[in-house]
Structure 1
């Protein structure tokens, strides 16, 4: 693994996040680098390659208070975006224009008749499990917090009657395109209410956030905060459908299916790039 790989960069970020959580954000570059057994120059270079900002600036993005600042400064109201059919409302959505939702009947059959290929890949946020049908990416999860076996079981349980084939070679082109921000295809497999929530998530621009309450209002169920939160947590295509951009009304992070450190890292990574 080279110093240029996204997985290497993310491992550095993950270690730094744990150090910051344990010690606080007021660490000097020298102290933070020493705690991770790296030279300050090497540590700064890796950070700059990954997000383009200094470690000190990135520490600010990783703090819990950053979520509240995002909510105050970059709070996206979803109603208008959804009324315009999401067109142009989200840089991420613009990149993933082609997707197809499974019919309610097909969903109820638990994926029977579907062949789902899967594999493990390096990503900017650690080892990523990606699954796809012939119509596009249908699942994505991250292993750092839960472990590889648990992540695989988690996604397979969602479509228990599908046929699963390990085939990373077939998936690699679409996975590399997805993490490079290039157009790819997604196959949303979920209940109708879940798909409405996932469509709303696609309206949130990179570097911005919204609230569970806003999502509930945008899809026409203003009292369904808890149901929206459940649907957000069941999003099968993490990161590409940006459930990490949904926060509590008070600016708290809320939950994240693949671990809060992953959610914080994703928000920080996107905010830093937006500010460049």
Structure 2
């Protein structure tokens, strides 16, 4: 059901993106997904937590540019000021990122057991890989089959052992997309990457919920101000979607930029976060 709902939402987002200058009405958007305005409004509010009209505001280029002009507040200050709900938590409050040691990196997963699973979420299906040290992979899966996703994970960890374990992975996916209101235990991530990539991914975790950054700003944060293109490469190599929020990085112009899981998914993630903040 969640996947089917997201397909309707994704189609609606695509229509809104293509026609935002005309400011389409609720009736216009609902007609694109073959629902009555009443049922579409209910579905959209259930998915996004805000009205389609509010969401439309968050999809505009002008809004993206205004976000890029805002200086990043500290995560703690932003959280306190906005009184964020559990569904809007800032990731560096409950995420602990750990990198492989040089020896572990060289061994490419030798002796590591990775549990994997394929699950539906409010943003469509996802594929996840878990180790005893933490989450090692999370990707949006609407453009790939489960077999293709497993092959990609095996290519990332060529010496590891793999086990389908949907019961274990379902519990973790539920916690990621529906975080508990009170928890003192952070999500642990265990990632393979170069020192530069790890620094970029850590910088992404510091982008507050509902805000965005640019490739140039991230380059400056990792003390490589002339390396915006290399930053883009590191962001594109992010192995853990959503939790490491690479979707929050835009072009300096306010354009979306690339996203390995598709522009509609990136726009959905960004607009939902921004719409919650606008409400």
Q: Is the 8 A contact 1:206 1:270 kept in 2?
A: yes
Instruction: Please tell me whether the aligned partners of residues 130 and 136 of structure 2 are also in contact (alpha carbons under 8 angstroms).
Output: yes
**Contact 1:146 / 1:258 at 8 angstroms: preserved in 2?**
no
Give the deviation of 1:152 after TM superposition: 3.4
**Does residue 11 of structure 1 match 2:40?**
no
* Superposed CA offset, 1:14-63 (max 9, x none): 01022224444522111211121101100000111122221122123233
Residues 129 and 88 of structure 1: is their aligned pair in 2 closer, same or farther, counting only changes over 3 Å? farther
The residue aligned with 2:64 is: 67
Alpha-carbon RMSD across the aligned residues, in angstroms, is 2.2
Q: Give structure 1 stretches of 5+ with no counterpart.
A: none
Q: Which segment drifts farther, 51-60 or 114-123?
A: 51-60
Is the 1:15–1:36 contact (alpha carbons within 8 Å) kept by the matching residues of 2? yes
Q: Where do residues 152-231 of structure 1 align in structure 2 (5 Å cutoff)?
A: 152-182=150-180, 183-231=186-234
Are the counterparts in 2 of residues 115 and 164 from structure 1 also a CA contact under 8 Å? yes
* 4+ long deviations beyond 6 Å: 86-90
Instruction: Evaluate the alpha carbon distance shift between residue 266 and residue 187 of structure 1 in structure 2; reply closer, same or farther with a 3 A threshold.
Output: same
d(CA) in 1 for partners of 2:216 and 2:176? 29
The alpha-carbon distance between structure 1 residues 68 and 202, as it changes in their structure 2 partners (threshold 3 A), is: same
Secondary structure at the aligned position of 1:117 is classed as strand
CA contact (8 A) 2:17 2:59 kept: no
Distance 1:223 1:18 in 2: 34
Contact 1:113 1:163 in 2 (8 A): yes
Question: How big is each residue's C-alpha offset from its partner over 1:219-254, in whole Å with a ceiling of 9 and x where there is no partner?
Answer: 122221111111111111111000001112222211
Count of residues in Structure 1 that have an aligned counterpart in Structure 2: 263
Per-residue CA distance 1:155-189 (angstroms, 9 max, x = gap)? 33222221111111112222211111344222222
1:241 to 233, 237, 244: 244
Out of 26, 48, 52, the residue aligned to residue 51 of structure 1 is 48
The TM-score with structure 1 as length reference comes to: 0.87
Residue aligned with 2:40, SS:
helix
What TM-score do you get using the length of structure 2 for normalisation? Answer: 0.86
| Higher mean C-alpha displacement, 226-235 vs 247-256 | 247-256
